[in-house]
Amino acid sequence: MTGRLKDLIIKAGRNLVPQEIEEAAAEVPGIRRGCVAAFGAAMPSRGTEALVIVAETRERDTARRERLVAAVTERVAAAVEVPPDTVMLVEPGAVPKTSSGKIRRVDTRSLYLAGKLGLRRGTSAANLARLVYGAGCARLGDGLHAVHRAAYAAYLALVLAAAGPLAWLVVTLLRDRSAVLRFQRFCSRLLFRAAGCRLSVSGLAHLDGGGPFLLVSNHTSYADIPALAALLPLEFLFLAKREAAGWPLVGAFLRKGGHLLADRFDAVRGVADAAAVSVALEEGSSVLVFPEGTFAAAAGLRPFRLGAFKTAVETGTPVVPVALRGARRVLRDGSWLPRAGSVLAWIGAPLRPEGTDWRAIVDLRDRAAQAIASQCGEPRLDLVFGGPVRP
């Protein structure tokens, strides 16, 4: 059985299932899907039932509505080999439904036979007042929220307009890389404080010893880099995309701080960029990378690329997993206006390579992903879509 027995339509000795008829009618462009009811109406003179289809549409033009009726008749006849006797087009909301959205065919049939299908129901003064009040409150709330967001945006614009040129001048004048990194940390903390964001970090004891470390973190938004710069007391270099070097103020910090740049579109240059990470580690500098490679508005820990872990195995550098929480909400992808919120960084125990072959690289990647997934508060998408990604 594909439907309830009481919904069956008996026409010309055939049992017709209304769901099949409704699906065929809903395929016609202009008919609202999920808003079609098919039922039988008694025809004593013929000894059978009339097949009636009631379908919702937003179309109001008379000629176009006639074409819709013809198209529905043709589509249903092709699907069940029986043309409907009546196709009635009604306005959206006219077909009765249950609270879960299912078509109430018996009620639709009763309204059709009583000639009341499609008639607007009266609204009491009390209900109308409640509707007006609710709509007014919602509109007022939306308006207040929009005003608040606009005021917040104007405030941040003024802060950046006043502090940005001064920060750029200081960075330009600094000659020592350590001084640039310390000023970068100061500016990052000041930025989050001005934006009304609270910062916290746990696990700093795992960075004792000074490194060098290869820090790997989940990537959630453009707020990740300033958040990590503000939270981690360790001097380290970022691996940033090369085009960021051309951004105002950000580019100055990248160049003067000696941060590493990666080319995402040039394969030959990308190999050289990976080699620069190895050189920095061998020279005693800690490096932070985002093994996901990019970020998106939707939550989830994306599959980790193996490049950073290959470098760690080749240089014997311990990998420190870092999990960020809250940064995605503060500055979600697709928006340049941050929201006030909390950003937490969790620092895990260093993970040391166990071997030098390809299996050691994959094992190091998997251990880091597991540690970060346990603390970032978002699901691992490589597990959701079929298990860990293997080389």
**In-domain check, residue 243:** yes
Note down the domain range covering 135: 124-173
Please answer whether residues 355 and 250 qualify as being in contact, where contact means their C-beta atoms are separated by less than 8 angstroms. Answer: no
Least confident of 66-80, 115-129, 240-254: 115-129
- Could you give the angle at the alpha carbon of 60 between the alpha carbons of 58 and 66, nearest 5°? 105
Structure tokens at 294: 């990019």
Same domain, 169 and 184: no
Same domain, 63 and 207: no
**Would the pLDDT of 265 be above 60?**
no
**In-domain check, residue 390:** no
**Would the pLDDT of 272 be above 60?**
no
**In-domain check, residue 293:** yes
Residue pLDDT, tens place only, 280-338: 899 889 999 999 888 888 888 999 988 889 999 999 999 999 999 999 988 888 777 77
Which backbone phi and psi does 309 adopt, to 5 degrees? -75, -30
**Would the pLDDT of 267 be above 50?**
no
Percentage of the chain modeled with pLDDT above 70: 85
Which of residues 64, 90, 113 is at a domain's end? 113
Q: How many CB atoms lie within 10 A of CB 156?
A: 17
Mean pLDDT of all residues in 62-66: 89
**In-domain check, residue 9:** yes
Total domains in the fold of the chain? 3
Least confident of 67-76, 221-230, 241-250: 241-250
Same domain, 21 and 96: yes
Same domain, 245 and 375: yes
Same domain, 247 and 341: yes
Please answer whether residues 213 and 254 qualify as being in contact, where contact means their C-beta atoms are separated by less than 8 angstroms. Answer: no
Tell me the CATH number at 80. 3.30.300.30
Same domain, 190 and 295: yes
Instruction: Specify the higher pLDDT residue, 363 or 243.
Output: 363
**In-domain check, residue 343:** yes
Same domain, 215 and 355: yes
Tell me the CATH number at 244. 3.40.1130.10
The mean predicted confidence, pLDDT, of the chain is 83
Same domain, 342 and 201: yes
- For tokens 């992903």, name the residue: 369
**In-domain check, residue 96:** yes
Under the banding of pLDDT at 50, 70 and 90, the label for residue 390 is very low
Which of residues 65, 84, 113 is at a domain's end? 113
The pLDDT, as a whole number, for residue 360 is 92
**In-domain check, residue 221:** yes
**In-domain check, residue 190:** yes
The pLDDT, as a whole number, for residue 371 is 95
- For tokens 């193996």, name the residue: 306
Mean pLDDT of all residues in 144-149: 76
The pLDDT, as a whole number, for residue 11 is 74
Using the CB atoms, write b or e for 58-88: b if 16+ within 10 Å.
Answer: eeeeeeeeeebbebbbebbeeebeeebbebb
The pLDDT, as a whole number, for residue 187 is 92
Distance, CA of 290 to CA of 280 (rounded, Å): 16
Same domain, 226 and 363: yes
Under the banding of pLDDT at 50, 70 and 90, the label for residue 119 is low
Same domain, 76 and 63: yes
Under the banding of pLDDT at 50, 70 and 90, the label for residue 31 is very high
Same domain, 229 and 260: yes
Same domain, 318 and 182: yes
Which of residues 88, 113, 138 is at a domain's end? 113
